[in-house]
Structure 1
Amino acid sequence: MPSPWKSRSEREPRRPPASDAGRGPAGPGPREELRLYGLNAVRAVFARRPDAIRKLYLTEGRIPALQPLLKWCVAHRVGYRVVEEEDLHRLAASAHHEGVVADVLRVEPTPLSAWLRDLPDGPQCAIWLDGVGNPHNFGAILRSAAHFGVAAVLLPKDSTLALSGAAARVAEGGAEAVPLVRLGRSDNALAQLRGAGFTLAATVVSGGRDLFATAPPARLVYVLGAEGEGMDRELASGCDLQLSIPGTGAVESLNVAAATAVMLAAWRARA
């Protein structure tokens, strides 16, 4: 069996071509692939769906920590290159790559009907993100969702929100643990979720019920609004509950990622 380590002559050039994110004419294109970076993000893909890995770049210092992955790459003829730190800066377009970058196949969101069909009975919690767009907030939400055992993150029909390398790194592996689900029209989605036994709770800055004084239903969807504009008013009014997180009033509100963590902790404590 060939050695899992590359010689210096086989290493990545100092300026890796941008086209490395995609494949050749016969393989997946850039839109079907995602460039991940960060140790936990890459390890999570390897643990859950190793066949999705298409190419790996790492610094020499990461070889010991990634030996199982490198051996897998050799056994399955997946290319990898040992590169310099500055090469990873360019590949990831970030200094926060933690010594490893991987090109992996992207998982497309599941349609709502398919997700509901396969969802087990019993207590379940999901998050509906209305207009959230910041990748770091998205990553933090996915991390909290994985920690508290959320069944899915629901994305509106016209939402452009998608997993990015930055979001996956912030999620610290959580992006692989929480399915993304694509909704249809909002009114249809509300009806489908209610038909599956879910209560929908809009999270509002003020005027809602006290989160900590309200017993959460066993099957619950938290609907959270955008970072700046907040939630669509029609959607908020169409939910079954409106919930607020009480605080001192010293600041107007928590940001959407922090609010999500608080909401999920409240559900987990009482579900």
Structure 2
Amino acid sequence: MAKRGHRPSKAPPSRPRFYGRHAVLAALNNPERNVRHIWGTHEALAGLDIPNSIQVTFANAADLGRLVPSDAPHQGLVADVDPLEDIWLGDLLAQGEGDDRPLIVLDQVTDPHNVGAILRSAAAFDALGIVTQDRHAPPESGTVARSAAGTLEAVPWVRVVNLARALEEIERAGFWRIGLTGHADQTLGEVMGKARICLVLGAEGEGMRQNTEAHCDQLAKLPISDKVESLNVSNAAAIALYAVAARG
């Protein structure tokens, strides 16, 4: 390796390590993100405008493969970054005043691939943001950033201590809270109306917890056939966001 700066053997526990072109370039282009160190092949780094404050290490593909999880598709770029600043729920709700962008609440969705995919769908359908618990949700990571394909930098992600209290605050902000669950009697299309929508989704398998369901204004299901029992939570989120965007 030819390098500028040092090469740590692994990322500090609190510092995410991103990999893949979308994730790393999006982090570089986000003024709110502090990028500490970038490793890359000469080809991948060619033409990138990287500030002098960021340490850069030139590496071959095999070197990069040792910096990330096994078989991770790094595409010639790896970066250590600082986590984004925390966002307060009240600030996010204030940003959404006067528009009808939907909000997504995830109840104990712990798979980073799913959270990343939901962030991508949230960006695609211009959601206001996502809300998760501080615990029982994945931290920012290379897996989340890779699955989000750069949208981790674009979609506000609020972490709260108590999801029930957060849902109460969301209600006061004027959202109609719809919990998606297969045991609901009505479909999402039947219950949406014209109100501002907050979609609440639970973990695959367990679904929403009882107290979370109790803090929803309405429960609804997606109109899927009986050939499958349920959809992956990220697929369900994408379909639900489309339904909100397409409502008449």
TM-score by length of 2: 0.90
CA distance in 2, matches of 1:161, 1:183: 13
- 1:46 matched to 2:28? The reply is yes
The 5 Å alignment of 1:138-217 reads 138-217=115-194
Deviations 1:56-85 (A, max 9, x none): 011123133xx133xx33xx3321111011
Query: Structure 1 50/57 Cα, relative in aligned 2: closer, same or farther at 3 Å?
Result: farther
Task: Give the CA RMSD over aligned residues.
Answer: 2.2
In structure 2, the residue matched to 1:244 is: 221
Change in Cα spacing, 1:212 to 1:132, as seen in structure 2 (3 Å) is same
Measure the CA separation in 2 of the matches of 1:175 and 1:217.
Answer: 29
Separation in 2, partners of 1:158, 1:218: 30
SS at 1:167 equivalent: helix
- The change in CA–CA distance for 1:62 and 1:192 in structure 2 (over 3 A counts) is same
Q: Structure 2 regions of 5+ residues with no counterpart?
A: none
Maintained 8 Å contact 2:103/2:129? yes
Q: Distance in 2 between matches of 1:10 and 1:128?
A: 43
- Matching of residue 55 in structure 1 with residue 37 in structure 2: yes
How far 1:207 moved relative to its partner? 2.3
**Aligned ranges for residues 1-271 of structure 1 at < 5 Å?**
9-10=2-3, 17-19=8-10, 21-22=11-12, 30-31=13-14, 33-49=15-31, 52-64=34-46, 67-69=47-49, 72-73=50-51, 76-95=52-71, 96-270=73-247
**How far is the alpha carbon of 1:157 from its aligned partner?**
4.5
What secondary structure does 2:66 align onto? helix
Q: Is the 8 A contact 2:168 2:215 kept in 1?
A: no
Of 165-174 and 149-158, the range deviating more from structure 2: 149-158
> What amino acid maps onto 2:172 in structure 1?
G
Secondary structure of 1:44's partner? helix
- Quote the Cα distance in structure 1 between the aligned partners of 2:131 and 2:44: 35
Whole-Å separation in 2 of the counterparts to 1:49 and 1:171: 18
Contiguous gaps of at least 5 residues in structure 1: 1-7, 23-29
- 2:109–2:202 Cα contact (<8 Å) kept: yes
CA contact (8 A) 2:115 2:144 kept: yes
- 3-state SS of the aligned residue for 2:63? helix
Q: For the residues of structure 1 that align with 2:23 and 2:154, how far apart are their CA atoms?
A: 11
How far, CA to CA, are the matches of 2:5 and 2:26 in structure 1?
Answer: 24
Determine if contact 2:164/2:211 at 8 Å carries over to the other structure. Answer: no
Question: How many residues are paired up?
Answer: 247
Given the superposition, is the C-alpha separation of residues 49 and 216 from structure 1 closer, same or farther in structure 2, using an over 3 Å criterion?
farther
Residues 109 and 237 of structure 1: is their aligned pair in 2 closer, same or farther, counting only changes over 3 Å? Answer: same
Report the Cα offset of residue 102 of structure 1.
0.7
**Greater Cα radius of gyration, structure 1 or 2:** 1
